[in-house]
């Protein structure tokens, strides 16, 4: 009986061990899921990623044009007050300016109030007198006897406040240089929910450097004769906005940078890179337009010297003469990078040698509209005016000017040049064309005592150029218009 019991016990143990080992084996050899199940898992993961992307609702951003701007002067920006703190603890800054700069003595006993639409008007007044100060975008206007006028006050938004500066012209020996990169962007909400666009989400990367958006100093003193700046003044400035599904927004955003354009500029919105093949083409078009010798197309040397007969013969070499009060000056007939650098270097060297503090201002502004199908309307002399009109394939105007000194058009690998008084160019359609616009100002003015008064000598030189390039970056149309003034 005992042996039989042992046999039964042994059999039970063996069966239990068999079950245990079988379970372990099945655990170690789990069969792979069928392909259909794996694929379904991947699809679900992809769907989750898409949904996550939609939840973030990243805007579609396109670069429609790009501008690179250089400014220099020996002016000084003097801080006056913060708009938000007047009336308040910075009222003295406004009152001191009115009293000391504009010589308005009655403001010592004046009251100050703020009102108007969005609190954009400050009123300084007594029982007998009053002045209105109005915040107008990036500038401040004063209303006295003759309505609102510009007194060279400009506004910069810093840390959420609008700080007002007074620009003092030509009152120091040091020349300050500034560079700006300005993007014209199209921003669209392709998502199914509202998109909250934040301007400070845009940042410009240049290698390890990161530049935040800024309010550029106002161009209004220069923009009337400089077409690139005038166009930028008229563009919509991007601000924080809510975009509904399918809604889009267009406007410009500016960055204070350390140089003119270069290939390493990389625009990002938060962590998303704004990629654009057209931007690479823009850089190439800018370089082609900047380093072109326009004397080949326009048939005129780069410089106009005052010592030459009537100042119209032109020269390939500039002369800058400060040896006497009635100095000789050199104006630019047209501009490229080389000519810009000549004036840039000359101003610095002349400033160091000058015994009197001159006033020097320089603007070199480039704007490029990349790759598009464009139409140039016929250009003819009519009623003592000629007109250059260039539109894109939607009919939007890119160039619209009647200020033409002369034009050159490339045909059969040869430039045909015609001055303004005999313009006669047929219209043309150009595919995948890029347009580069260049504006240049170079002024250098010295004030000196003369017979008990203050005299001035120097030059003012303004130039505007339009350059049309084909898809191979050949320059096929050039329009130029210089303004040249001599003082003294």
Return per-residue pLDDT of the chain as tens, 488 residues. 444 555 445 544 555 445 444 444 444 333 333 333 333 333 333 333 333 334 467 899 999 999 999 999 888 888 999 999 999 999 999 999 999 888 898 988 899 999 888 888 999 999 888 999 998 877 788 887 777 777 778 888 877 789 999 877 767 788 889 999 999 999 999 999 999 999 999 999 998 999 999 988 776 565 678 999 999 988 999 999 999 999 999 999 999 999 999 889 999 999 999 977 788 889 999 999 999 999 999 999 999 876 554 445 678 888 876 654 445 678 899 999 999 999 999 888 888 887 778 888 999 999 999 989 999 999 987 767 789 999 999 999 999 999 999 999 999 899 999 999 889 999 999 999 999 999 999 988 887 665 555 667 778 889 999 999 999 999 999 999 998 877 65
Phi, psi dihedrals of residue 99, rounded to the nearest 5°: -80, -45
For strands 330-332 and 359-376, give the pairing: unpaired
**3-state SS class at 334:** coil
Q: What is the pTM of this model?
A: 0.79
For strands 139-143 and 148-158, give the pairing: antiparallel
Q: Calculate the alpha carbon distances from 421 to 231, 334, 382, 484 in Å.
A: 27, 18, 10, 19
- What does 152-215 look like in DSSP terms, one character per residue? EEEEEEETTEEEEEEEE-S--SPPEEEEEEEEEEEEE--SSS-EEE-GGGEEEEETTEEEEEE-
- Sign of the alpha-carbon torsion through 95, 100, 104, 109: positive
Q: Residue 197 and residue 8: Cα distance in Å, rounded?
A: 80
CATH 2.60.40.1240 residue ranges in the chain?
59-73+174-272
Average of per-residue pLDDT values in the chain: 82
Q: Residue 117 and residue 139: Cα distance in Å, rounded?
A: 16
Q: Which two tokens mark 376?
A: 């140039």
**3-state SS class at 319:** coil
Q: Residue 403 and residue 386: Cα distance in Å, rounded?
A: 8
Residue 80's nearest CA partner among 71, 70, 66, 90 is 90
Topology of the domain comprising 59-73+174-272: Immunoglobulin-like (2.60.40)
């Amino acid at each position: 009986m005992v042996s039989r019991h042992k046999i039964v016990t042994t059999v039970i143990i063996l069966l239990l061990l068999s079950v245990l080992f079988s379970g372990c084996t099945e655990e170690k050899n789990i069969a792979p899921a069928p392909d259909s199940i794996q694929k379904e898992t991947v699809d679900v993961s992809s769907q989750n990623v898409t949904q996550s992307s939609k939840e973030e609702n990243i805007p579609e951003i396109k670069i429609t044009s790009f501008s690179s701007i250089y400014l220099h002067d020996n002016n000084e920006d003097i801080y006056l007050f913060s708009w938000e703190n007047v009336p308040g603890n910075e009222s003295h800054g406004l009152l001191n300016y009115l009293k000391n700069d504009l010589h308005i003595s009655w403001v010592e006993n004046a009251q100050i109030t703020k009102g108007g639409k969005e609190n954009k008007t400050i009123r300084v007044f007594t029982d007998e007198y009053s002045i209105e100060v109005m915040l107008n975008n990036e500038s401040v206007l004063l209303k006295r006897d003759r309505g609102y006028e510009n007194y060279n006050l400009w506004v910069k938004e810093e840390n959420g406040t609008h700080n007002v500066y007074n620009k003092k012209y030509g009152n120091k020996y040091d020349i300050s240089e500034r560079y700006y990169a300005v993007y014209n962007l199209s921003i669209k909400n392709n998502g199914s929910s509202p998109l909250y666009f934040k301007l400070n989400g845009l940042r410009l990367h240049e290698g390890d450097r990161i530049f935040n958006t800024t309010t550029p100093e106002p161009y209004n003193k220069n923009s009337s004769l400089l077409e690139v700046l005038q166009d930028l003044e008229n563009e919509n400035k991007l601000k924080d906005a809510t975009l509904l599904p399918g809604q889009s927004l267009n406007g410009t955003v500016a960055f204070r940078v350390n140089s003119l354009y270069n290939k390493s500029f990389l625009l990002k919105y938060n962590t998303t890179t704004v990629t654009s093949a057209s931007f690479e083409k823009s850089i190439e078009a800018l370089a082609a337009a900047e380093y072109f010798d326009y004397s080949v197309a326009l048939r005129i040397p780069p410089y106009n010297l005052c010592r030459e007969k009537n100042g119209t013969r032109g020269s390939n070499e500039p002369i800058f003469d400060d040896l006497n009060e009635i100095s000789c000056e050199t104006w630019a007939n047209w501009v490229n990078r080389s000519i810009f650098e000549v004036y840039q270097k000359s101003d610095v060297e002349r400033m160091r040698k000058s015994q009197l503090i001159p006033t020097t201002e320089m603007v070199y502004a480039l704007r490029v509209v990349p790759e598009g199908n464009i139409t140039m309307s016929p250009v003819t002399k009519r009623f003592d005016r000629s007109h250059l009109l260039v539109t894109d394939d939607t009919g939007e105007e890119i160039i619209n000017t009647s200020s033409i000194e002369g034009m050159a058009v490339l045909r059969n690998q040869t430039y045909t040049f015609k001055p303004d008084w005999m313009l006669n160019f047929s219209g043309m359609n150009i595919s995948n064309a890029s347009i580069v616009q260049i504006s240049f100002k170079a002024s250098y003015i010295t004030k000196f005592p003369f017979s008990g008064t203050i005299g001035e000598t120097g030059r003012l030189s303004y130039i505007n150029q339009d350059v049309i390039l084909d898809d191979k970056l050949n320059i096929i149309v050039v329009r130029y218009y210089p303004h040249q003034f001599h003082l003294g």
